[in-house]
Structure 1
C-alpha cells in the first residue's frame, strides 16, 4: 500500500492482516475505525482483497462483500488475517510434505506415514496435497518413482529387480506393470530402446 492511498494506521493494519495476526488486526481496526473515513476504509478493503486474491486464497462472497465488511470492520479484518494465517500454515506444511516425500519416496511410504510425519490427519493432508500439487499423493509418489526408475535404467548399472527394490517396490512384476502404465512400454523394452 502506498503512502498516498491510506493513512498510517490503516497501513499498519494492512501489515497485521498480511502477517496473519488475527487478534491484532481486529483490535487495531476497532481503534482505527473511529478515525478513518469511508474512502480510506474502502481503499484498504480493496488492497486486502487484492492481497488475498494474489495468494489464491478462496473468498466467500457473502463474507467478503464491501457491504458486509462495513457492518463490522473489526470482524472483517480478523477474518482476513485468519485466512492469511491459514495460508502461511499450509505453505509451511507443503514445504514439510515436499521434504518428507523427497527423502522417502524410494521407500514404501503411504499417505498415512506422510501425514503422521507432520502431525496432520490423513484427510486434511490428502486435501492439502491435492490442492497444492494438483494430483493425489499416490500419483505424485508414483511419478517421482517412475522418473527415478527411468534415470536408473538409463544409467544401466543395476538390474530391474534392484531398481524395483530401490524404489520401494517389493514385487518386480508390479514395478514393471506400473512402469509400463506410466511410459507405455516395459522397463526391459525401454532399456533395449536406449541401448540400441
Structure 2
C-alpha cells in the first residue's frame, strides 16, 4: 500500500511527498529489523550465560524464538563473529576455569557442571581451546 501511493502520484509534489513517506517507512522497518535481530541474539547469549551446561542447540533455540535455525545461525555469526557451537564451547571452558579454583571439585565434576558428560570429550575440548590439559591448567591456576 505504501508503494501504491507512490505509483499513484499525479504531480511532482505528490511524488516527492510519497517518496519521502516511503523512505521513512523503509528506514523504520530496517531499524525495527535490526532491533529485533539483535534482541534475538541477545536472548541466545543470555540463555547460554545463565546455564551453559544445558544441552543447547541452534535448532532448539531457533524453535523457542520461532525462526529458522539457518537464520538464527546467520544472525548469531553476524552479531558475535563466532558460530554458535564455538561460542557455547568458549562459555563452557570459561566457566570450567572459574570452577577449577574450587579444589574440592574433580575435573569430571567440573566437566559435567559445564555440560560435558564425557570427561574425555571435556579434556579434548579444553586442550583444543587452552593449548594445555585441564589438569595442567588447574595445577598452574591453583599454584598462583
| Residues 41-80 of structure 1: pairs in structure 2 closer than 5 A | 72-80=19-27
Q: Which of the numbers 132, 138, 141 marks the counterpart of 1:191?
A: 138
Report the Cα offset of residue 194 of structure 1.
Answer: 2.5
| Residues 128-167 of structure 1: pairs in structure 2 closer than 5 A | 128-167=75-114
Report the Cα offset of residue 89 of structure 1.
Answer: 1.1
| Residues 10-21 of structure 1: pairs in structure 2 closer than 5 A | none
Note the aligned Cα RMSD (angstroms): 2.6
Residue matched to 1:4: none
Report the Cα offset of residue 34 of structure 1.
Answer: 4.5
Residue matched to 1:179: 126
Pair 1:87 & 2:19 matched = no
Distance 2:137 2:126 in 1: 10
Distance 2:45 2:58 in 1: 13
Relative to the length of structure 2, the TM-score reads 0.81
Residue matched to 1:108: 55
Q: Deviations over 1:135-178 (max 9, x none)?
A: 01011111100001111112222101111111111210010011
The number of equivalent residue pairs is 135
Distance 1:195 1:73 in 2: 64
Residue matched to 1:125: 72
Distance 1:107 1:93 in 2: 18
SS of residue matched to 1:154:
coil
Relative to the length of structure 1, the TM-score reads 0.61
1:78–1:195 distance in 2 versus 1, CA, 3 Å: closer
